[in-house]
């Protein structure tokens, strides 16, 4: 009997299916061309840790809440397998700390602009606002507490034990995407940052903190418009009384006037219009759910000042309600993402981390095709860690979004039933 060769005893080979690409890598691939531009701008021949590597490290930390310090970032990229997967070198905490300090965060604004242009979904929009072709930009600021030892981050109030920094954000409310921000210390005026950031062909939604006639004139001079909520102390004289339509009255509009300031030192270069609306509920998001902050502006009578005479009073009320989208984004950063701790104490390093949060949010919106919610972020965090595939993320995300939509419709039906009684 012939001897059986060893080769014939081997089990037949089985073609194993290839593992799907890691979701974290797929997210990075969505902005490969943008990261390449960062690398091209980094021309130093002896540099090993480049700007695109720093951005990737911060993005991975953004999608992993436990990676919240320089040491944990160093641990995350300590293995050669992870370095090869994301195309980065070994990142030590001391090198990353130096990189945060010297990195110019303004280089990331073109990345934010490019990603925002790619995101095409509409969030919380209303068909009655489709006639407004300009970008509708809400402007507001939020505070972050930092360590008291950070000298440049002065506290908001002299008696505070911790330092404070403010993020002055511009947010495209109809598309649900951030457009840019400025980071200042706690005692600086957020209103003073507005003139440098005004762009043409925008409609700016402003709260009472931005009531500055000089700044409003600047907005119009640069080819944009404004809708600002007035303080109670703002006084105007009536120039003309504008008639109200039935739709305006149903929307709670009390009066629509062409006005001029009573103070002779404060004058506008163009006609302005004051609309007073009762029961403006700015504390609900696009699904009709409360945002958890109690809706501090909900149910109050508000006075809105604008230079737009072509819009109906009803449309102006709808516009001001859209301003709440920026508050929801602040809640996203603080409550969902948990961005309450900075890995750097320098102004550049903190700004870099906030830019990474904006870029990560835009990537998530681009990946899912919707405004990100807490379920999307949780799923993507698990996917970046290797628990889920990209297809599973999209499947579960769609199911959760459909569940929330059905719940919102039931809640809306119950409210309508109560009103009809």
Exposed, middle or buried: residue 346 (CB in 10 Å: 0-12, 13-18, 19+)?
middle
Name which residue leads in pLDDT, 131 or 158: 158
Which tokens go with 189?
């005026």
- For residue 222, the model assigns a pLDDT of 94
The answer as to whether 162 is a domain residue is yes
Ramachandran area for residue 46 (φ above 0: left; ψ -120 to 50: alpha; else beta) = alpha
The answer as to whether 360 is a domain residue is yes
Exposed, middle or buried: residue 257 (CB in 10 Å: 0-12, 13-18, 19+)?
middle
| Res. 226: pLDDT tops 70 | yes
- For residue 29, the model assigns a pLDDT of 75
Q: What are phi and psi of 418, to 5 degrees?
A: -65, -40
- For residue 13, the model assigns a pLDDT of 44
The answer as to whether 193 is a domain residue is yes
223 — pLDDT class (breaks 50, 70, 90) = very high
Q: Indicate whether 35 and 181 sit together in one domain.
A: no
HSE toward the beta carbon, residue 113, CA cutoff 13 A: 5
**pLDDT, tens digit, 9 for 90 and up, residues 255-279:** 999 999 887 777 888 899 999 998 7
Q: Indicate whether 36 and 132 sit together in one domain.
A: no
For strands 300-306 and 272-280, give the pairing.
antiparallel
Letter string b/e over residues 122-131, b meaning 16 or more CB atoms within 10 A of that residue's CB: ebbbeeebee
The answer as to whether 317 is a domain residue is yes
Q: What are phi and psi of 107, to 5 degrees?
A: -65, -20
The answer as to whether 150 is a domain residue is yes
Name which residue leads in pLDDT, 299 or 164: 164
Q: Indicate whether 98 and 120 sit together in one domain.
A: no
The answer as to whether 274 is a domain residue is yes
Q: Indicate whether 223 and 134 sit together in one domain.
A: yes
The answer as to whether 88 is a domain residue is yes
Distances (CA, A) of 88 to 56, 57, 106, 141: 8, 8, 22, 34
Q: Indicate whether 171 and 69 sit together in one domain.
A: no
**pLDDT, tens digit, 9 for 90 and up, residues 134-177:** 789 999 999 999 998 998 998 888 888 889 999 999 999 888 88
Instruction: Write down the mean pLDDT value for the chain.
Output: 83
Q: Indicate whether 121 and 185 sit together in one domain.
A: yes
Other beta carbons within 10 angstroms of residue 312's beta carbon come to 19
Q: Indicate whether 151 and 48 sit together in one domain.
A: no
Q: Indicate whether 142 and 100 sit together in one domain.
A: no
Q: Indicate whether 118 and 242 sit together in one domain.
A: yes
Q: Number of structural domains, the chain? A: 2
Residues in the chain: 421
* Structural domain span for residue 204: 107-333
Q: Indicate whether 137 and 268 sit together in one domain.
A: yes
The answer as to whether 315 is a domain residue is yes
| Res. 69: pLDDT tops 50 | yes
Q: What is the SS3 assignment for 227?
A: strand
Q: What percent of the chain has pLDDT over 90?
A: 39
State the DSSP string of 30-67.
Answer: TTHHHHHHHHHH---TT-SS-HHHHHHHHHHHHT-TT-
**pLDDT, tens digit, 9 for 90 and up, residues 72-130:** 999 988 988 888 888 889 999 999 999 898 888 999 999 999 998 888 654 545 566 66
| Res. 43: pLDDT tops 80 | no
Other beta carbons within 10 angstroms of residue 45's beta carbon come to 4
- For residue 131, the model assigns a pLDDT of 65
State which of 333, 357, 376 marks the end of a domain.
333
Rg (C-alpha) for the chain, rounded Å, is 26
Write down the pTM of the prediction.
0.83
Which tokens go with 47?
């540099």
Q: Indicate whether 197 and 302 sit together in one domain.
A: yes
State which of 301, 333, 365 marks the end of a domain.
333
State which of 283, 309, 333 marks the end of a domain.
333
Which tokens go with 148?
């008291």
Q: 160: domain CATH number?
A: 3.90.350
Q: Indicate whether 34 and 132 sit together in one domain.
A: no
């Amino acid at each position: 009997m012939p001897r059986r060769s060893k080769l014939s005893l081997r089990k037949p080979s089985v073609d194993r299916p290839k593992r799907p690409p890691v979701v974290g890598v797929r997210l990075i691939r969505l902005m490969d061309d943008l990261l390449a531009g960062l690398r091209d701008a980094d021309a130093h021949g002896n540099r090993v840790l480049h700007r695109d590597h720093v951005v990737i490290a911060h993005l991975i930390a953004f999608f992993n809440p436990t990676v919240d310090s320089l040491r944990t970032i160093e641990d995350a990229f300590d293995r050669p397998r992870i370095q090869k997967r994301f195309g980065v070198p070994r990142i030590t905490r001391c090198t990353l700390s130096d990189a945060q300090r010297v990195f110019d965060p303004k280089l990331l604004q073109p990345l934010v602009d490019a990603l925002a242009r790619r995101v095409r979904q509409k969030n919380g929009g209303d068909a009655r606002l489709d006639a407004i072709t300009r970008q509708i930009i809400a402007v507001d600021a939020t505070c972050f507490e930092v360590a008291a030892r950070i000298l440049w981050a002065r506290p908001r109030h002299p008696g505070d034990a911790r330092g404070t920094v403010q993020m002055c954000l511009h947010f495209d409310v109809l598309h649900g995407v951030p457009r840019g921000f400025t980071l200042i210390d706690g005692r600086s005026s957020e209103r003073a940052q507005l003139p440098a950031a005004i762009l043409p062909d925008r409609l700016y939604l402003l709260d009472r903190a931005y009531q500055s006639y000089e700044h409003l004139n600047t907005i119009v001079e640069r080819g944009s418009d404004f809708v600002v909520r007035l303080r109670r102390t703002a006084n105007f004289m009536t120039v003309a009384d504008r008639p109200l339509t039935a739709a305006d009255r149903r929307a709670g509009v009390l009066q629509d006037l062409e006005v001029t300031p009573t103070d002779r030192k404060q004058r506008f270069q163009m006609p302005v219009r004051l609309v007073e609306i009762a029961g403006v509920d700015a504390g609900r998001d696009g699904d009709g759910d409360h945002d958890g902050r109690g809706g501090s502006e909900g149910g109050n009578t508000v006075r809105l000042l604008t230079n737009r005479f072509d819009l109906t009073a009803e449309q102006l009320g709808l516009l001001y309600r859209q301003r709440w989208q920026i508050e929801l984004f602040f809640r996203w950063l603080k409550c969902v993402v948990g961005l309450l701790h900075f890995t750097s104490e320098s102004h550049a390093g903190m700004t870099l981390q906030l830019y990474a949060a904006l870029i990560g949010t835009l990537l998530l919106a681009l990946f899912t095709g919707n405004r990100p919610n807490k379920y999307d972020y949780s799923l993507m965090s698990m996917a970046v860690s290797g628990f889920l595939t990209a297809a599973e993320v999209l499947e579960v995300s769609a199911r959760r979004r459909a569940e929330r939509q059905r719940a919102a419709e039931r809640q809306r039906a119950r409210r309508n039933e109560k009103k009809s009684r």
